Structures are given as C-alpha cells and as structure tokens.
A = this chain, B = another copy of it.
Amino acid sequence: MERGELKPMDAEQLREYGHRMVDFIADYYKTIEDFPVLSQVQPGYLRKLLPSSAPVDPESLDQVLKDVQTNILPGVTHWQSPNYFAYYPSNSSIAGFMGEMLSAGLNIVGFSWITSPAATELEMIVLDWLSKLLKLPDEFLSTGQGGGVIQGTASEAVLVVLLAARDKFLHRVGKNALNKLVVYASDQTHSALQKACQIGGIYPENCRMLKADASTNYALSPDALTEAISHDISNGLIPFFLCATVGTTSSTAIDPLLLLGRIAKENGLWFHVDAAYAGSACICPEYRPYINGVEEADSFNMNAHKWFLTNFDCSALWVKDRNALVQSLSTNPEFLKNKASQTNMVVDYKDWQIPLGRRFRSLKLWMVLRLYGSQNLQDYIRSHINLAKHFEGLVAQDPRFEVVTPRLFALVCFRLVPFQSDLDLANKLNHELLDAVNSTGKIFISHTIAGENHPALQAAKSTDSESNSGI
C-alpha cells in the first residue's frame, strides 16, 4: 500500500488480503508442532527486534507476515498445539474461527438492541439452546424473567452477579452496611472471586474462603458453610453470596450443589455456580449429575471458550432474575435512548455487563453448535476424558508417580511420590520436574498445590488435532 492510497474498506483488497491470511493461518496449524509449545524467549526479547516507533509510510502485508513468522511466532505459547496440556483445554475450532471472522467483518458494537437487533437476539436464542443442552432449569431461559448473556470471562461473570447481589442487599439494608456483607466459597475457588470482591468493595475479612481438603476431595463442606453462616449472623454480619464450583481449577473438585443450594436458600444468599471448565461436560447425560442442584442456583456460568470449541472469549452466564443485573449495572444516558429500549420491548445487554460496547460473540457459539451438532460435541468431550483416563492409568502403573486427586474429567493431577514423606523435598523435586519438562518445549503442563503444601503437576487433555502426539 502506498501513501495517499488508503482504502481501508475496499472489498477487493479485503478479499486479497483475507485469502492470504487464511493461508497463513492454515499453514500455521499444519506446522504448529514444529514450535516449542511453551515459548522459550527471554523477557524483553521483542523490543530488541522491533523499531522504536510506528512507521510514517505504509508497509506491505508481505513485510508484516514475515515479521509475524520471524519475530512474533517464537514468542507465542501455542495454546492450540497438541502438545499443550497446561491450565485448561482452550480449543479453538474452525467453526469458532468462522464466527470470529464474521464478527470482525460485520464489526458492530451491540450495546443496545437497536445497534444490531440480530446480535442481541441471536445471543438470547443460542444461550437458550445451550441452556437446554445442559438441562438447566427453565428459569434460566430468556423467555421468562431470566436469561443468558455472553461475558468475556468467568471473572466478569462472577463479578456482575456479585455486584447484582451486593446492590440487592444494600438496597434492603442500606449502603452503609457494605462492611457487613459476607461472601462464602471454598478455598479452592478461582481467584476471580477474590478479585470480584476487591472490585466490589467487599471487606477482605468478610470473604470466607472455607478450607476444603482431601477428606471431601477438595469440595466445600455444607457443615462448614452452615457453621460459618451461623457464626457470622451471631456477630451481626450479613451473609449475602455463595459461590460453588463444579470443576475447580486445582483438581476439578465438585462442590455439592444440592446441599449448598438449600443452605443458601434458607439463609437468603445469592447462589452462584461456577462451572467454567466442567460445565461443558454436562451436555453428556452421564456427566450431567455433577450439576444436580443447579435448580437452586441464582446464576450459573460455563466458559464455552474452555472446553466447547469456541474461540476465546465466550463465557456463558445465566441468571434467574435479569432485573437484578439491570438494577445494578444500568445507565440510561440521553444519546442511548430509543423507542425499543424505552418501551421495554427488548433486552439491552449493556445493562448485564461491565463495559458498554460488546462484540457479536454469539455468532461463534452458534456456528459451533450448528457446524458440529450436539452429538459430535458430546463425543468430543468423551474422547478427551478417555484420553485422560488413559494417562491416569499410565501414571498409576509407574511406581515413581502417583495420582494426587481423583480424576473426574480430563484433568489429571499427579506428582513424583514424596520420599519418606519429606514434602519440602517433594515440592522441590516436582518443581524441578515441571521446569525440566516445560523447558524442553515439547509439552507444556502447569502445576498447583493441593491442600497443605501437596505439590501437584497438572496435565489437562487440552487440544485436539489430527496428529495426537503427546500424552
């Protein structure tokens, strides 16, 4: 491109460049195993390779793609590599990629219904579809008082429901009572809850991260919860929010929703269920029992970008009372007023989330559901779990290693067996093993601490590929 010829939306140039980028990405997938899966660059590597200011004159796509190949890809940790077993499965898919492309092409900003009715309505419909696949209670459907919404991440999902609950309670007891509001969860809960509390001004000393240990397979104990609530009430505090997790980050532990939900109900707490990772598995009838009790929940979250073939970001959140979200998060400036919104005929998702603007993210989830179909998606989940079972068997056969917590889904927590119960030494050796494995660039695994200083390495069946090498 030359100076003075800026045609940023020329259809034929988009076609030409787009085809070249498709080929670049397809070639990347073909060669993805040639890269170290965990990037081996040193901090600050890129600044040495790039100029210190933007170019005055335009550069060619050739130059840019050459730089991507030479300078960017070595600094990428390849989440889509079949050798990637860290954190969580993060599969993109062709269907998800199609949705991202179309969303970027339309490039609408769907804060209100009127700014693109299809964006709002497709999101409502597709989240109803997913809700039905998960057999969530009808109250989560958009046809009643509730509904689903796509958030960017589970962090945002737990934040918006925490804020909705906070404001509902403060409306009742007065905003000066913020210092009395108490949150409950197990200490295995994702750090996103702690962050949401920080943001919402919940006092750190009022965040009860109740200890969960091996005796409950790291699940939150209903008895411990009841006791904590009673204690807080007797001290004049106000219990208001319970977060249960189905599939914790450390060990995929499952909090007992049915019992916890009853306690939440008896005490009038907002009950949120975080199934960010394991929610996807619950589209299979054999795994659906893990979320029995979700009927008691006020809100439920699963990340389609984790284990549902939908490109990041796509975190599905359902609530039973959408009005609670709107009460907490709505603003209504003049420039956004319009007939459809004023007459309450439509949903304006801006009032269900932190940001104002939002992308057309339902397209990618819609494409995943349509291009793959629910049966294939179930089989895909099952194939991952079978691979994890296989790996678990291999670990169990090897006397040097042990499986640390029961494998429930596709995450296996294992470690080098501690020598003479010396946990410090075991910790050190496992960390050295982790570093040694990851520094090869051949596979990438992550780690956690289960309970009292029990180190554990994590290998999650992470990425599907034609060439399933790796574990």
Contact across chains for B18 and A58 when beta carbons are under 8 A apart? no
Contact across chains for A371 and B1 when beta carbons are under 8 A apart? yes
Chain B residue at minimal CB-CB distance from A1: B371
Give min CB distance, A113 to chain B, whole Å.
7
Contact across chains for A357 and B9 when beta carbons are under 8 A apart? no
Chain B residue at minimal CB-CB distance from A383: B6
Give min CB distance, A378 to chain B, whole Å.
10
Known: A21-B101, A152-B357, A199-B199. A125 touches B6 (CB 8 A): no
- Report how far A179 CA is from B7 CA in the complex, Å: 52
Known: A25-B102, A118-B39, A359-B312. A371 touches B79 (CB 8 A): no
Known: A8-B372, A200-B201, A447-B335. A121 touches B22 (CB 8 A): no
- Kindly report how many copies of this chain are found in the complex they form together: 2
Give min CB distance, A277 to chain B, whole Å.
12
Contact across chains for A156 and B354 when beta carbons are under 8 A apart? yes
- Report how far A79 CA is from B105 CA in the complex, Å: 10
- Report how far A153 CA is from B92 CA in the complex, Å: 24
Interface majority SS (helix, strand, loop, mixed), chain A: helix
The 7 closest A-B pairs by CB, nearest first: A75-B118, A18-B22, A8-B93, A25-B105, A100-B104, A15-B26, A201-B201
Known: A43-B117, A355-B156. A373 touches B313 (CB 8 A): no
Contact across chains for A309 and B8 when beta carbons are under 8 A apart? yes
Q: Give 8 A-B pairs besides A25-B105, A54-B126, A77-B117 with Cβ atoms closer than 8 angstroms.
A: A8-B380, A21-B101, A28-B105, A54-B132, A76-B108, A77-B114, A195-B329, A199-B354
In the complex, A296 has a CB within 8 A of chain B: no
Known: A21-B101, A45-B117. A132 touches B53 (CB 8 A): yes
- Report how far A109 CA is from B164 CA in the complex, Å: 27
Contact across chains for B198 and A75 when beta carbons are under 8 A apart? no
In the complex, A259 has a CB within 8 A of chain B: no
Contact across chains for B371 and A59 when beta carbons are under 8 A apart? yes
List residues of chain B with CB within 8 A of the CB of A102. 21, 24-25, 68
Contact across chains for A354 and B75 when beta carbons are under 8 A apart? no
Known: A54-B133, A59-B371, A372-B1. A354 touches B159 (CB 8 A): yes
